[in-house]
Amino acid sequence: HHHHHHHHRGGHGHNHGNKVPYNGYNSEEYLDRLEPNGNIPADKSNCRYGDWRSTDSTDHHDRVQRQLSVSSDSKLLDDDIREETRVIMRPKKPPRPKSEVFLNKQDPHPRRKRFSAFGGDSPFGKSDAYIKLEPLGEGSYATVYKGFSNLTHQRVALKEIRLQEEEGAPFTAIREASLLKELKHSNIVTLHDIVHTRETLTFVFEYVNTDLSQYMEKHPGGLDHRNVRLFLFQLLRGLSYCHKRRVLHRDVKPQNLLISDCGELKLADFGLARAKSVPSHTYSHEVVTLWYRPPDVLLGSTEYSTSLDMWGVGCIFVEMVTGMPTFPGIRDTYDQLDKIFKLLGTPTEETWPGVTHFPGYKPHKLGFYRPRKLGHNFPRLYDIVDGETIANAFLQLNPEQRIGAEEALQHPYFAPLPRKLYELPDETSIFTVEGVHLFPEPNRQNK
């Protein structure tokens, strides 16, 4: 019973006339994009994966609900900030936020549940397309399981959305699915298949071993500079591909950057991304872990553009180099801004025209600081040729002055890399280029 309508594209927010009801919910996306096709392309990855212990991590928690009740004109109100304080209280020396993966004890005897790639009552209902193994992580709208595909005999990650229980789940799920179906790139996690039954919608993703957050925990004290360069290059390559297609990720942080065994970096967790014309209109400010959230958004700006993702890239770059989060705010929005301004200086109308008009710009809550060099806090940046200059280009307070992904790929910091990397097709891994490989990380004992 698959009938395919024509695929609509165009402004996602503005198709009021032709919404298609989906599972009892009005969704802004189209179900026909999601019809399971029962076949899984072979893995594009160039790695031979040896070790499957860790996980495909997704980190949803409760930001999804908040993001779904969007006011048409969201202001950063004191109430929001108090609410945020409750959610984000952290101990004095804040640990890096964990991926959900760590919450699960390994179950020695996972229950194997078989289900079909072809939805509930299709004649193929008995095809044991996927075997569901142990859970890898809980999100607010989905559980991620390790799985096995009987079609390709490969490991997969199964992201299972419960349709009945979760009010907003289909929206978030469908948004993620329809975006990922369109995004085909070696630095973006691959959505292989979608399985639709009455109770659940299951996304079948490629399985990736670990994420950047876990990788940095495993190698404390900063990563090998050559690896930092390869990770940053891939992150920019994936983002540049998204941004050209007017897709913002909106939640760039180490837990959402999956890392395969040979060092392929893949952007994951597009649940909050939205294909919109850029800059997009008012949107809830509640979308980013505070540590990686740009100052314009912290100040209540809703004029989102691709610069939103670029601030997070800068934070992650510095974190990879130093092994320490760049701006680990511990309380609320204003604590986070304080961390940023202490280093980069408090913005003024001279340095950032329009900044005083943001709803969150409250001088009595913001200390006044002079700007310092990034290298003042992070001297390690000086150990790398062009390290401080590229970090500076990302970490501009004024979003207009932040470097874009495409432009950043041309920065002299990347000069040591082979030019061949710039001619690769979208779906080809950088590790196909001769001489490009991950280096062993230095074995530092806690510093």
> Domains in the chain, please, with CATH?
25-55+104-206 (3.30.200.20), 210-432 (1.10.510.10)
From the annotation, which residues make up the binding site for ATP?
A: 159
Separation between Cα atoms, residue 151 and residue 164, nearest integer Å: 29
Q: Are 201 and 98 in contact (CB under 8 A)?
A: no
Q: Are 179 and 33 in contact (CB under 8 A)?
A: no
**Range ranked top by mean pLDDT from 75-89, 138-152, 264-278:** 138-152
Cβ density class 339-360: b for 16+ within 10 Å, e for less: bbbbbbebbeeeebeebeebbb
pLDDT digits (tens, 9 = 90+) for 290-326: 899 999 999 999 888 999 999 999 999 999 999 999 9
Q: Mean pLDDT for the chain?
A: 75
From the annotation, which residues make up the binding site?
A: 159
| Catalytic pick among 251, 269, 296, 309 | 251
Q: Which residue did the predictor score with more confidence, 1 or 397?
A: 397
pLDDT digits (tens, 9 = 90+) for 23-35: 333 333 333 333 3
What residues contact residue 349 under an 8 Å CB cut-off, 6+ apart?
355, 356
Q: Which residue did the predictor score with more confidence, 73 or 36?
A: 36
Residue 341 scores a pLDDT above 90: yes
Clarify whether 251 is annotated catalytic: yes
Give the model's confidence band at 225: pLDDT under 50 very low, under 70 low, under 90 confident, else very high. very high
Give the model's confidence band at 176: pLDDT under 50 very low, under 70 low, under 90 confident, else very high. confident
Residue 401 scores a pLDDT above 50: yes
Mean pLDDT of 410-426: 98
Residue 340 scores a pLDDT above 90: yes
Which pTM does this prediction carry?
Answer: 0.70
Q: What is the pLDDT of residue 73?
A: 27
Separation between Cα atoms, residue 248 and residue 20, nearest integer Å: 24
Find the range with the poorest average confidence among 100-109, 230-239, 293-302, 412-421: 100-109
